[in-house]
Structure 1
Amino acid sequence: MEIMPMHVTSGLHFRTKITRNEFIFSLIGFIWLVCLPQASFSAAPSPENGEKVYQAYCIGCHQIGNRLPSGPDLKGINSRRDSSWLVRWIVEPDKMLAEGDPIATQLKQEYNNIPMPNFGLSEAQAKDILAYIAAKSSGEMPAKPVTKPQASILPTQTSENGKEIYQKICSACHTIGGGKKVGPDLKGVTSRREPSWLVRWIQEPDKMLAEGDPHATQLKQEHGNFPMPNYGLSEEQAKGLIAFIAAESGGELPPSVTTQGETKPEEQTASVAEPAAPAGDFAIGKALFEGQKPFEKGGPACISCHTTSDVGGLGGGTLGPDLTKVNSRFGGITPALVNVSFPTMRGVFSKKKLLGDEATHLTAYFAETNSKDEKPSQNFTISLISIIGFILLYILTHLIWRKRLTGVRIPLVGR
């Protein structure tokens, strides 16, 4: 039998020419079907949508064509930074800072160590923002006419000016009645803080933090250590802003905040108004805090990380701050419980949010503990108990085991 030599070929082998052509056309068609949806249905970045997102989140710290103390001028940023870097910086600035990205770190250091907040924006929103900045930088975005606020909402010229300042500077980090964002909800703040404190806090927050003002320091600690930027506002602008917040909150303008003149000395020393008594039940709030009553959605009990002076024994947890006076510290804690903004709590309660009634009951509990003094630190007591316990355990072990070899040693010595 004759053996035919084998011919080895590489690649695909087709018996006929028509089969090869069919394969090539099929391959081209497959690639076309895969790529066509990407090319046809992937929406291009929208400068119009980017403007809306920019106005909602960026304008408080940035401008396009002007530099603010809190953030760099964004004009032409698209040509100075790689687009992929910019998109990621907008989407997850906290991660980039944690990773030690050199540009991110340098930006933070240059702007008073104010970190870029993570607003939870998507990649598409980031690209829209960059499209808007590019269009605005090149002058392609038409300027929109500024509409005057309605007089029925803003009864005075002072609050009208305040609205403009609020929308340009404050709205990126604050709301008035819409819950917390990066900073606290400002609804009713004019009745919880004395006017002279508010005016100075708006004008020179950096100095108040440097001086160790307790309210200023606590606000920074409770909001991700984001310091309040100094925007260089005048006293008149600060008073206008306070007037607008008071009008939007539905309250009356504090008498010491006027469009002319200085704050009266006797009003500067006035005590801070206490928040209104909550409608919740103290007993239920205490049970929720101590874990005797579980939260409806399964969140951990407050006592796991916090304590109050109402808790007996060694107290509650020490991972978080003492909450004895948290209600007066924030002028009412309900909004912070419903819309959690504290970084650690946000991670724990993001999928296990508190119900409105639970927040109200907890507020009633904190309102009651507010009259008590905060507990001194228990760290020394716990350490002392641990040391004493170790010594007692050592002595007890020695007493129990010191004669265990006596029965062996005596016969050996006798030999």
Structure 2
Amino acid sequence: MKQLLVVVAALLGLAIAADGAVLYSQNCAGCHGANGQGIPGVFPPLSGNPRIQDEAYVVKAIRQGISGPLEVGGQTYNGVMPAMPQISESDARAIAAYTRGLGGTPAAAPEPTPIPTDPALAARGKALFLGQARFQNGGAPCMACHTAGNFGPMGGGSLGRDLTDLHTRLGAAGIQGVLTSIAFPVMRESYKGHPLTPEEIAALTAFFAQTAGKPGNTASMDAARMLFAGLVGLLVLFGAMYLYWNNRRLGLAERIRTSSRRSA
């Protein structure tokens, strides 16, 4: 009987680990790497990280998020891991069980997918960012929420962070990881069912490499955008008022003429 319980427990542990591996691949691997190796200076490694042995800590980090600074392996990380409340506690525990098996010597970080310095690729990424070219799976253009570089008075979206320095902060591997396995709640919902293709990710990465080190939108540019939007709104308002009063004046004149004809 005791041996049977041991076998059942082992099989249950293997099932949980398998589920955890799938959940990890879907929700964590994009930033922390397929083997938990992380991205140096960007995302901390999980392999060889002693905190991973604390299930409660891992579950809390997954469901409530973490903000830096955080020191792992003698290196300080000062980013933000977004909360993922959509992951149930049982699934978070399965991920925790899987990541505990990543202990030991940290795995070497793989080389990022090389991004050609072809200007045409960066131009393709810019077109995708601005919405001038459609994403293959129908995702929203990045400019709906973000800006990157300086696109003139209309700039870009202000809902999300300015991504001008994204390549400087994350590097090619970090950008590829974030866009492959999207963890940020708003962005994840926006691209749910509309994943980016590897080719699109490569093009966007090349575009962000091109914007690195260039000036982004300044406060004066943001003010100019607001002023421009205000002027457009005023023109639309005055145009509507003109049409309304002009039609009303013509209607009044017609009524006077009709009344005069009847009196005659």
Please, what TM-score do these two structures have when normalized by structure 2?
A: 0.53
* DSSP 3-state at the match of 1:337: helix
Tell me the distance in 2 between the aligned counterparts of 1:279 and 1:187. 24
Tell me the distance in 1 between the aligned counterparts of 2:191 and 2:32. 18
Question: What letter matches 1:283 in structure 2?
Answer: A
Tell me the distance in 1 between the aligned counterparts of 2:236 and 2:138. 38
Residues 308 and 324 of structure 1 are in contact (CA less than 8 Å); yes or no, is this contact kept in structure 2?
Answer: yes
User: Equivalent residue for 2:124?
Assistant: 284
Residues 155 and 225 of structure 2 are in contact (CA less than 8 Å); yes or no, is this contact kept in structure 1?
Answer: no
Residues 287 and 293 of structure 1 are in contact (CA less than 8 Å); yes or no, is this contact kept in structure 2?
Answer: yes
Residue by residue over 1:76-122, the C-alpha shift from the partner in whole angstroms, topping out at 9 and shown as x without a partner, is xxxxxxxxxxxxxxxxxxxxxxxxxxxxxxxxxxxxxxxxxxx96xx
User: Equivalent residue for 2:95?
Assistant: none
Gaps of 5+ in 2: 1-7, 45-50, 52-65, 71-75, 86-102, 258-264
Tell me the distance in 2 between the aligned counterparts of 1:285 and 1:369. 11
Tell me the distance in 2 between the aligned counterparts of 1:382 and 1:392. 15
Please, what TM-score do these two structures have when normalized by structure 1?
A: 0.37
User: Equivalent residue for 1:376?
Assistant: 218
User: Equivalent residue for 1:366?
Assistant: 208
CA RMSD, 1 decimal: 4.7
> Sequence identity of aligned pairs in percent?
28
Considering only CA atoms, is the larger Rg found in Structure 1 or Structure 2?
A: 1
Residues 67 and 81 of structure 2 are in contact (CA less than 8 Å); yes or no, is this contact kept in structure 1?
Answer: no
User: Equivalent residue for 1:300?
Assistant: 140
Shift of 1:56: 7.4
Q: Quick one: higher RCO (CA 8 Å, sep 6+), 1 or 2?
A: 2
Gaps of 5+ in 1: 1-45, 59-118, 121-170, 196-201, 226-240, 252-274
User: Equivalent residue for 1:340?
Assistant: 182
Tell me the distance in 2 between the aligned counterparts of 1:392 and 1:244. 65
Residue by residue over 1:280-327, the C-alpha shift from the partner in whole angstroms, topping out at 9 and shown as x without a partner, is 621222222222332233323222322211433412223322221112
Shift of 1:374: 2.8
Residues 325 and 369 of structure 1 are in contact (CA less than 8 Å); yes or no, is this contact kept in structure 2?
Answer: yes
Tell me the distance in 2 between the aligned counterparts of 1:206 and 1:292. 35
User: Equivalent residue for 1:115?
Assistant: none
Residue by residue over 1:35-91, the C-alpha shift from the partner in whole angstroms, topping out at 9 and shown as x without a partner, is xxxxxxxxxxx6445424655788xxxxxxxxxxxxxxxxxxxxxxxxxxxxxxxxx
Question: What letter matches 2:109 in structure 1?
Answer: S
Residue by residue over 1:388-410, the C-alpha shift from the partner in whole angstroms, topping out at 9 and shown as x without a partner, is 445555666369848938969x9
1:249 paired with 2:99, answer no
User: Equivalent residue for 1:220?
Assistant: 81
Residues 57 and 173 of structure 1 are in contact (CA less than 8 Å); yes or no, is this contact kept in structure 2?
Answer: no
User: Equivalent residue for 1:51?
Assistant: 13
Question: What letter matches 1:278 in structure 2?
Answer: I
Residues 32 and 38 of structure 2 are in contact (CA less than 8 Å); yes or no, is this contact kept in structure 1?
Answer: no
Shift of 1:330: 1.9
Q: Which runs of 4+ in 1 moved over 6 A?
A: 171-175
Q: Which structure's residues are more often helix, by fraction?
A: 2
Question: What letter matches 1:345 in structure 2?
Answer: M
Shift of 1:363: 0.6
1:404 paired with 2:249, answer yes
Tell me the distance in 2 between the aligned counterparts of 1:349 and 1:395. 39
Tell me the distance in 2 between the aligned counterparts of 1:325 and 1:388. 31
Question: What letter matches 1:368 in structure 2?
Answer: Q
User: Equivalent residue for 2:47?
Assistant: none
Residues 306 and 323 of structure 1 are in contact (CA less than 8 Å); yes or no, is this contact kept in structure 2?
Answer: yes
Tell me the distance in 1 between the aligned counterparts of 2:185 and 2:205. 20
* Cα separation, partners in 2 of 1:352 and 1:172, compared to 1, 3 Å: closer
* DSSP 3-state at the match of 1:328: helix
Residues 277 and 367 of structure 1 are in contact (CA less than 8 Å); yes or no, is this contact kept in structure 2?
Answer: no
Query: What are the equivalent positions in structure 2 for 1:70-149 lying under 5 Å apart?
Result: none
Equivalent residue for 2:191, pick from 349, 355, 358: 349
* Cα separation, partners in 2 of 1:382 and 1:49, compared to 1, 3 Å: farther
